[in-house]
Amino acid sequence: MDDKESFINNHEKAPLIELDDFRCPSKPNSFYVQTNDNKKIRIALWNKESNKGTILLQSGRTEFIEKYYEVIQEFIDREFCVVAMDWRGQGLSDRTSNNIRLGHIDSFNEYDKDFEMIIEKVYQHICPRPWIGFGHSMGGCLLATNFTKHENNYRALILCAPMLTMKVNIWIKRLTKLILFLLPWLKRLPLSPPNWDKKQGWIEEDFEQNNLTSDKFRFDRSFRLISKCPELGVKGLSFGWVNEAFKRIEDFDYPNWGKTITKPVLLLSAGKDLLVDSDKNELICSSIPNRSISRINGKHELLMEENDIRNETWKAIDEFLEKIYE
């Protein structure tokens, strides 16, 4: 048994959920890591003997490792090691609220501390270098924060429709801040409740009304995963999570944030994004000296989109990777 295998075996094994027509990439290592405040975080690793390096895959709000099997396999096919995790409060990591189906966080600093601890105590031991960060939506926001502080850990950064901005009415933002200033105890209450029914379980969302993807098969596949394992599901938003998100995106100011970055960065910008502001994201990233910006005419989840959109997204990723491996 090698050192990496021994390290992994010293941790509690974690499950990975599969569907009959959507299988986990082969030979995974999945396990739990305990945080400093005793929360269990689920981690999964593939192809740990890669000579090419590791993709640090950071998913978005409400997402879970299983949703990314297709993307993980595509990175494995490109000879990378891939490591993914469930943020605290979602997937099969420990929850942060008594309402286990509600997306909540007291402070985004909790996410930061978890990620920094996992990098130091786990990834440093099992993930071959160089490291390339890949973050979607909230995961892109949190990865960008870590990248800014610890840029030397990375070869490059790929941001896929990252939450550097949010498309939200300014009055909603101001009202949320005012409410929590006057009534801070409201932070754990739902601003939008999860679509859960005690008898039916998770209630299927209307594909026609969704803001994430125009691919019905992939949209339905995510729902089938949480139908099979309801514990994976987190929906809705707490007042606290929304307010913390507003605070965090203030860090990504133009032009100051981008000017501090020296490593290569690829921004994958979704032309039909209704959740983050693609125009503002492109402006923020335009001040990064070594940047590539690719606008793709899809909805928020570019790698969960229809094949034509996914192919265009992968073309941009492959061209970027080819440059940094020259």
| pLDDT for position 1 | 58
pLDDT digits (tens, 9 = 90+) for 220-256: 999 999 999 999 999 888 989 999 999 999 999 999 9
In whole numbers, what is the pLDDT of the chain averaged over residues?
94
The answer to whether 17 and 66 are in contact (CB under 8 A) is: yes
* CA–CA dist 233, 226 (Å, integer): 5
The kind and range of the H/E element at 41 are strand 40-46
What's this model's pTM, rounded to 2 decimal places?
A: 0.96
Task: Identify the band that residue 2 occupies on the pLDDT scale cut at 50, 70 and 90.
Answer: confident
The kind and range of the H/E element at 172 are helix 170-182
* CA–CA dist 145, 176 (Å, integer): 23
Question: Nearest to residue 304, comparing CAs of 195, 202, 225?
Answer: 225
| pLDDT for position 186 | 81
The answer to whether 16 and 28 are in contact (CB under 8 A) is: yes
Question: Which segment of 46-60, 190-204, 289-303 scores lowest on mean pLDDT?
Answer: 190-204
Average of per-residue pLDDT across 142-149:
98
Position 143: which residue type?
Answer: L
pLDDT digits (tens, 9 = 90+) for 198-216: 777 788 889 999 999 999 9
The kind and range of the H/E element at 43 are strand 40-46
| pLDDT for position 98 | 86
Task: Identify the band that residue 270 occupies on the pLDDT scale cut at 50, 70 and 90.
Answer: very high
Q: Is the pLDDT of residue 172 over 80?
A: no
DSSP symbol at 203 = P
Average of per-residue pLDDT across 191-202:
76
Report the percent of the chain where pLDDT is more than 70. 99
Domains of the chain by range and CATH? 3-324 (3.40.50.1820)
What sign has the CA pseudo-torsion 208, 212, 217, 222?
A: negative
Report the percent of the chain where pLDDT is more than 90. 83
pLDDT digits (tens, 9 = 90+) for 67-126: 999 999 999 999 999 999 999 999 999 999 888 889 999 999 999 999 999 999 999 999
DSSP symbols for 251-317: TS-TTHHHHT--S-EEEEEETT-SSS-HHHHHHHHTT-TTEEEEEESS-S-GGGS-HHHHHHHHHHH
Q: Is the pLDDT of residue 318 over 90?
A: yes
